[in-house]
Amino acid sequence: MSSFAVALLAALLAVLAFPPFGLGFLALPAVALLLWALRRAPTALVAALSGAGYGIAFFGCLMWWISRTEPIALLGLVITESFFLTGMGWFVYRQRRLPLWSWTASIAGGWALMEILRGWMPVGGLQWGGLGYALAPYAPARGAAALIGASGWSVVIVMSAAVVVGLVEGRRVWILPPLGLWVVLLSAGALWPAVADGPPLRVTVVQGSTPCVEHCAGDRLAIYENHLRLTRTLPSGSADLVVWGESATGYATDPLLTPAVGESISDEATRIGAYFLVGGDRPIGDEHFVNANMLFDANGSYVGEYNKRQPVPFGEYVPWRSVFGLIPATDRVPRDMLRGTGPVVFDLGSGSFGSVISFEGSFARHTRDHVRAGAQLMVVATNERSYGIGPAADQLIDMTRMHAAENGIDLVQAAITGKSAVITGGGEVTAVTPLYEEAVISGTVRFRSSGRTLATRWGDWVSTLAVAGLVAALAWTGLEPNRNERRAT
């Protein structure tokens, strides 16, 4: 079988590691199969093309749901992300003759560098498809994320896959170190997971859904009215915090621009005796808008808001509009989102919480920024209605539950069409709603009163060490394969 065909098989195996399949244990054999294919490619060009094939197949199958909004958006994303795998294919081939220790360090560091770059570039980056998120279904792995983060698990998976390739090729392999690392990490995660251990908070998520899967006339008003109607069924005193998802209000139904909407929300906050966190997008002039989470206190008074900092390219703004604005599809994004300036932490008296909005919830750095700023609980408000029935919601939940586990905080995810969820500090989902149904879920979450986890304090420190290991390995062995052929084992 050709290297290209094996790389495609590896990509399909990797897709099975993520929702809707959720077979996370397949992440390691998928990467091992890819590395084996790249090492055995006849030329560097074939290896690069095999890497590109893996990227196209993996991201195309993983994120097919983006095509529901605009097929060209999926095409652009797949092409962009495949560039990273193309470079990885070339790099793996070039390093194939290194001794096992430097091969392992180089490949783990190279993959870590790729995920770091992919998380920031282009136009803000993408974390979907990060290997570490495939382990979200497993409690011990989530527990260990408080030590090494999801990005650290990516490094461990790739390092282990590199060793497996050496074993398959009959090289002298020290199998005990990577095996021992897995045992130590999973044991620590199972025995000492970081959890929220502070005062309790009763939270209710209202999922008002929408009258139509695709956008239709009057749907913005209907979404707001659905949320208000469901909220009016909540008994007085039943919650301490009520959450409406992203875009539950906005424009003609913005609570700050439309007095009747603001009064209705204030009345419900007063009646229930709860804080209200309400998502909405507000026009600013003719060319801009803000995407905000607005907080009202139990007396119905507006407290303040968090403004989304990372917009979705071609969804909430058009990058380099003078150039890309010529594309007809960009007419669907007539305004550009104004970015927020930083994390916002709200004090509820018994504890504090932060919130991120939709796409931001997929990035570990945004949740970590809020926790470092003092948040003891997190809320993710999202609106994934454009993606229809598909795995997007489950994929995002797996990412946010890993972020909860990384920081040892409870997390509430509120979506206007689902899936909404209540997640504990250990990343366990205790309540979840179906897609495209009106629903109300309630649960008791806790603020985190313990100190910061290692992942909160040091961030992606394992990835940083892996990149340092890459530099050290290259400096020690040299970049030219012919010089290393004599050292190969």
pLDDT(485) > 80: no
* Residue range 329-349: mean pLDDT, rounded: 91
pLDDT(476) > 90: no
Closest by CA to 150, choosing from 103, 115, 197, is 115
Question: In the prediction, which pLDDT does 329 show?
Answer: 66
Q: How far is CA 431 from CA 174, 274, 383, in A?
A: 43, 20, 18
State residue 346 phi and psi, 5-degree precision.
-100, 135
State residue 271 phi and psi, 5-degree precision.
-65, -45
* Residue range 406-426: mean pLDDT, rounded: 96
More confident residue, 38 or 477: 38
On average, the pLDDT of the chain sits at 93
State residue 285 phi and psi, 5-degree precision.
70, -155
Helix 27-39 to helix 44-62 angle (10° resolution) is: 160
* Residue range 436-447: mean pLDDT, rounded: 96
Interval 170-186: pLDDT, tens: 777 778 888 999 999 99
Question: In the prediction, which pLDDT does 488 show?
Answer: 42
Q: Is 466 helix (H, G, I), strand (E, B) or coil?
A: helix
Tokens of 244: 């409406």
Domain ranges of the chain: 3-193+460-487, 200-452
Closest by CA to 162, choosing from 88, 105, 89, is 105
Rounded CA-CA distance 184/190 in Å is: 10
Ramachandran sector of residue 304 (left: φ over 0; alpha: ψ -120 to 50; beta: rest): left
Model confidence at 486, pLDDT cuts 50, 70, 90, reads very low
Q: Is 436 helix (H, G, I), strand (E, B) or coil?
A: coil
Instruction: Tell the residue number behind the tokens 């998928």, with chain if given.
Output: 30
Q: Which helix (H) or strand (E) holds 284?
A: strand 275-284
Long-range Cβ contact pairs of 113-119 (< 8 A, separation 24 or more): 113/463, 113/466, 113/467, 113/470, 114/84, 114/85, 114/87, 114/88, 115/151, 115/154, 115/463, 116/151, 116/460, 116/463, 116/467, 117/84, 118/81, 118/84, 119/363, 119/365
Alpha-helical segments (H) within 169-235: 176-191, 219-231
Question: In the prediction, which pLDDT does 328 show?
Answer: 67
Model confidence at 375, pLDDT cuts 50, 70, 90, reads very high
Tokens of 239: 């919650």
Length of the chain: 489
Rounded CA-CA distance 97/169 in Å is: 12
Question: In the prediction, which pLDDT does 478 show?
Answer: 64
Least confident interval from 55-59, 64-68, 124-128, 457-461: 64-68
Interval 289-338: pLDDT, tens: 999 999 999 999 999 999 999 999 988 998 888 777 767 667 788 899 99
DSSP-derived pairing of the beta strands 421-423 and 411-415:
antiparallel
Taking the chain, what is the end-to-end CA distance rounded to the nearest angstrom?
Answer: 25
pLDDT(480) > 60: no
Closest by CA to 159, choosing from 219, 224, 107, is 107
Rounded CA-CA distance 262/176 in Å is: 62
Rounded CA-CA distance 405/151 in Å is: 13
Rounded CA-CA distance 290/308 in Å is: 7
Identity of the residue numbered 100: L
Model confidence at 215, pLDDT cuts 50, 70, 90, reads confident
Tokens of 362: 């997929």
pLDDT(389) > 80: yes
Say which residues have a Cβ less than 8 Å from residue 105's Cβ, sequence separation at least 6.
Answer: 466, 469, 470, 472, 473
Rounded CA-CA distance 345/338 in Å is: 19
Interval 26-49: pLDDT, tens: 999 999 999 999 999 999 999 999
Tokens of 358: 């939709």
pLDDT(479) > 80: no
Rounded CA-CA distance 53/4 in Å is: 7
Instruction: Tell the residue number behind the tokens 């409690």, with chain if given.
Output: 139
429 strand-pairing partners: 423
Rounded CA-CA distance 216/223 in Å is: 11
DSSP-derived pairing of the beta strands 241-250 and 200-207:
parallel
Question: In the prediction, which pLDDT does 99 show?
Answer: 85
Model confidence at 439, pLDDT cuts 50, 70, 90, reads very high
User: Which CATH superfamily is 200-452 part of?
Assistant: Carbon-nitrogen hydrolase (3.60.110.10)
Closest by CA to 373, choosing from 341, 421, 414, is 341
Closest by CA to 130, choosing from 466, 468, 471, 463, is 463
pLDDT(100) > 90: no
More confident residue, 386 or 348: 348
Closest by CA to 11, choosing from 71, 53, 69, is 53
Rounded CA-CA distance 475/150 in Å is: 28
Rounded CA-CA distance 253/191 in Å is: 48
Burial class of 454 by CB neighbour count within 10 A (0 to 12, 13 to 18, 19+): middle
Q: How far is CA 123 from CA 74, 120, 309, 361, in A?
A: 15, 7, 13, 16
